[in-house]
């Protein structure tokens, strides 16, 4: 069981009690689980003793996974590596001990680190690719020192944000509100004819409960609370551009990294990067939809620990669905992608006869090249196999996405536990049994409910 060298890091991150210096290159670390039984540890230690291996460090704690077991963490000198394979084999096969090997370098099939708890998303805050205040020379706000200072305020706020805190409320300036007002007014005229059913369905609720008005920029905190009541999705402010891997990992926890600043007032209908108009008008309405939320989370779950080339494919799928997706509603095509729903120009263009429209086919879509600074030449349409008014209900690519996701190589299965907000790695019989029991209890509920509505 459980020889996943790459997981080393997340076990390390999660437990916190392992000192950093145990990761020195001359060390090998192991974690193993033992049943609470007199002499169990002594038996294991004897195996090391027989091979004349000196343990340099040992500590223990009750296992979080199995209540009647203890976890032991040990360090040994790297020079003992040749003997280790035999020892691990003995422990696993003859003694039935679960062993996690932490720090032997096995680059080839190492699993990249991923967050195991929702709190660990805090780590992304200081690994952003570019800080929100650094603007390119062709950015409309590049020569505006006031705008740049403002961007830094937003970036600093997001940088210091930690999970569980309320998202700081922002007092937007009159100019910022004016910019929002222009974008809001113009886009709202297009939604009834261009936006998908789900978007139009949720929008009035956002106006009613979250302050979506022409003269008011909604607060992320209010919107995040609203989304949590709809689908459990929440927003967290982000200080700059995240890597695809980090961004997608957030979705696994139903966390959407959102900007809070607004585009430059000189060009209200243009922004070279996501801003609060894009997040609030484009993304938020769809995250309130149960099926769409599920789809988004599954992209995130599929990304955890995936090899780099699959992260790129998942990011491309995300691009052509969540950002620039079109869907069929009866005989017409509507937009559900946030990049479209937040762009007055592209929302009209995508439904004109100018771009190329293709059917969504994940294997193909995942390798499609795309430009990031101009209108898309190609869009993918999600088919609705049920001739109903919506693309997400029942059918939204979930089945084909799961098939696609199952092709991603990962040496273990994972599952999100919404109660603890943790990712469970399903790598031992006990966990699978727990899962089977919880499914069985849900099945009981389902059967009883079915009987009652017969």
Residues 6+ apart with CB under 8 A from 363: 404
- Which is the catalytic residue, given 100, 139, 194, 278? 278
Closest CB to Fe ion: residue number: 338
Long-range contacts of the stretch 89-93 (C-beta < 8 A, 24+):
90/47, 91/32, 91/44, 91/47, 92/1
Clarify whether 296 is annotated catalytic: no
Number of H helices, E strands in the chain: 17, 14
**Is 141 or 274 the residue whose CB approaches Fe ion more closely?**
274
- Rounded distance, CA 454 to CA 439, Å? 22
Count of chain residues binding Fe ion (CB under 5 A): 2
The answer to whether 144 touches 138, Cβ cutoff 8 Å, is no
Comparing CB distances to Fe ion, the nearer of 23 and 375 is 375
Report which secondary-structure segment, H or E, holds 391. none
How far apart are CB 238 and Fe ion at their closest, in Å?
11
Phi and psi for 146 in degrees, rounded to 5? -65, -45
Q: Where are the beta strands (DSSP E) in 348-400?
A: 356-359, 378-382
Active-site residue (options: 323, 343, 346, 395): 323
Span of 34-42, 171-179, 271-279, 374-382 interacting with Fe ion by CB under 5 A: 271-279
Is residue 278 part of the annotated active site? The answer reads yes
The beta strand positions in 175-251, using DSSP E, are 234-237, 240-241
359 sits in the region (left: phi over 0; alpha: psi -120 to 50; else beta) called: beta
Tell me: is residue 153 an annotated ligand-binding position: no
Give the tokens for residue 169: 């409320």
Q: Is 342 a catalytic residue?
A: yes
d(CA 347, CA 114): 35
Per CB under 5 A, the segment of 115-123, 139-147, 332-340, 371-379 that binds Fe ion is 332-340
Kindly state the smallest distance separating residue 242's Cβ from Fe ion, in Å.
11
Residue 207 DSSP one-character state: H
Cβ closer to Fe ion: 298 or 323?
323
Residue 155 binds to Fe ion (criterion: CB under 5 A): no
Burial of residue 408, with CB atoms counted within 10 A of its CB: 0-12 exposed, 13-18 middle, 19 or more buried = middle
Q: CB count, 10 Å around CB of 156?
A: 14
Q: Among residues 291, 303, 342, 343, which one is catalytic?
A: 342
How far apart CA 53 and CA 84 sit, in angstroms, is 9
Stretch that binds Fe ion, among 85-93, 117-125, 333-341, 397-405 (CB under 5 A): 333-341
Q: Which is nearer to Fe ion, 274 or 300 (CB)?
A: 274
At 327 the three-state DSSP class reads strand
Stretch of 49-57, 80-88, 330-338, 403-411 contacting Fe ion, by CB under 5 A? 330-338
Which C-beta is closer to Fe ion: that of 96 or that of 345? Answer: 345
Catalytic residue among 283, 291, 296, 303: 283
Taking the C-alpha atoms of residue 278 and residue 169, their distance in angstroms, rounded to an integer, is 18
Binding mask 222-261 for Fe ion (x = CB under 5 A): ----------------------------------------
Is 278 annotated as belonging to a binding site?
yes
Query: By CB under 5 A, what part of segment 336-375 binds Fe ion?
Result: 338
**Smallest separation, CB 18 to Fe ion (Å):** 37
Our answer to whether residue 413 is catalytic in this structure is: no
Spatial separation of the C-alpha atoms in residues 340 and 195, rounded to whole Å: 9
Task: Specify the DSSP element, H or E, that contains 247.
Answer: helix 244-252
> What is residue 149's DSSP assignment?
H
Indicate the helix (H) or strand (E) that contains 320: none
Output 227 or 338, the one with its CB closest to Fe ion.
338
Q: Kindly give the pairing relationship between strand 332-335 and strand 255-258.
A: unpaired
DSSP track, 294-312: HHHHHHHHHHTT--HHHHH
Q: How far is the CB of 445 from Fe ion (least distance, A)?
A: 36
- Token pair for residue 358? 């293709």
CB of 319 to Fe ion, least distance (A): 9
Binding mask 289-328 for Fe ion (x = CB under 5 A): ----------------------------------------
214 assigned ligand-binding residue = no
Which lies closer to Fe ion via its Cβ, residue 256 or residue 396? 256
CB of 376 to Fe ion, least distance (A): 13
Residue 4 vs 247, nearer CB to Fe ion: 247
Least Å distance, CB 183 to Fe ion, is 15
Minimum distance of Fe ion from residue 322's CB (angstroms): 7
Burial track 337-351 (b if 16+ CB lie within 10 A, e otherwise):
bbbbbbbbebbeebb
Count of C-beta atoms within a 10 Å radius of residue 264: 25
Q: Which residues bind Fe ion (CB under 5 A)?
A: 274, 338
Write out the binding residues.
278, 283, 323
Write out the binding residues for Fe cation.
278, 283, 323
Catalytic residues, by residue number, are: 278, 283, 323, 342
């Amino acid at each position: 069981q459980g020889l996943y060298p790459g997981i080393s890091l997340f076990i390390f991150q999660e437990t916190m009690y392992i000192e950093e210096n145990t990761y020195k290159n001359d060390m090998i670390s192991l974690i193993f689980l033992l049943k609470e039984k007199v002499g169990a540890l002594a038996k294991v230690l004897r195996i090391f003793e027989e091979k004349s291996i000196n343990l340099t460090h040992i500590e223990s704690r009750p296992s979080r996974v199995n209540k009647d077991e203890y976890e032991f963490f040990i360090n040994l000198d790297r020079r003992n590596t040749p003997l280790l394979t035999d020892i691990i084999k003995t422990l696993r096969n003859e003694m039935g001990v679960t062993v996690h090997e932490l720090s032997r370098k096995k680059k080839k099939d190492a699993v990249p680190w991923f967050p195991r708890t929702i709190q660990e998303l805090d780590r992304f805050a200081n690994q952003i690719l570019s800080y929100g205040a650094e603007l390119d020379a062709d950015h409309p706000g590049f020569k505006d020192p006031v705008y740049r200072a403002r961007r830094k305020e937003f970036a600093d706020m997001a940088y210091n944000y930690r999970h569980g805190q309320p998202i700081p409320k922002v007092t937007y300036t009159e100019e910022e509100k004016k910019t929002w007002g222009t974008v809001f007014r113009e886009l709202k005229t297009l939604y009834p004819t261009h936006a998908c059913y789900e978007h139009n369905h949720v929008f009035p609720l956002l106006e009613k409960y979250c302050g979506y008005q022409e003269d008011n920029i909604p607060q992320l905190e209010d919107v995040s609370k609203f989304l949590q009541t709809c689908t459990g999705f929440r927003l967290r402010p982000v200080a700059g551009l995240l890597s695809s891997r980090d961004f997608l990992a957030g979705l696994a926890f139903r966390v959407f990294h959102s900007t809070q600043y607004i585009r430059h007032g000189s060009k209200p209908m243009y922004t070279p990067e996501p801003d609060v108009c894009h997040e609030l008008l484009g993304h938020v309405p769809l995250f309130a939809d149960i099926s769409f939320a599920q789809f988004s989370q599954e992209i995130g779950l599929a990304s955890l620990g995936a090899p780099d080339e699959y992260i790129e494919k998942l990011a491309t799928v995300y691009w052509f669905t969540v950002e620039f997706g079109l869907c069929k509603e009866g005989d017409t095509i509507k937009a559900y992608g946030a990049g479209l729903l937040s762009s007055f120009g592209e929302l009209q263009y995508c439904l004109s006869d100018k771009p190329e429209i293709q059917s969504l086919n994940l294997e193909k879509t995942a390798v499609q090249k795309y430009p990031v600074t101009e209108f898309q030449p190609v869009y993918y349409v999600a088919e609705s196999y049920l001739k109903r008014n919506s693309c997400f209900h029942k059918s939204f690519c979930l089945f084909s996405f799961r098939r696609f996701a199952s092709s991603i190589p990962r040496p273990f299965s994972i599952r999100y536990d919404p109660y603890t907000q943790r990712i469970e790695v399903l790598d031992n019989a006990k966990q699978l049994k727990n899962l089977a029991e919880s499914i069985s209890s849900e099945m009981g509920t389902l059967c009883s409910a079915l009987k009652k509505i017969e």
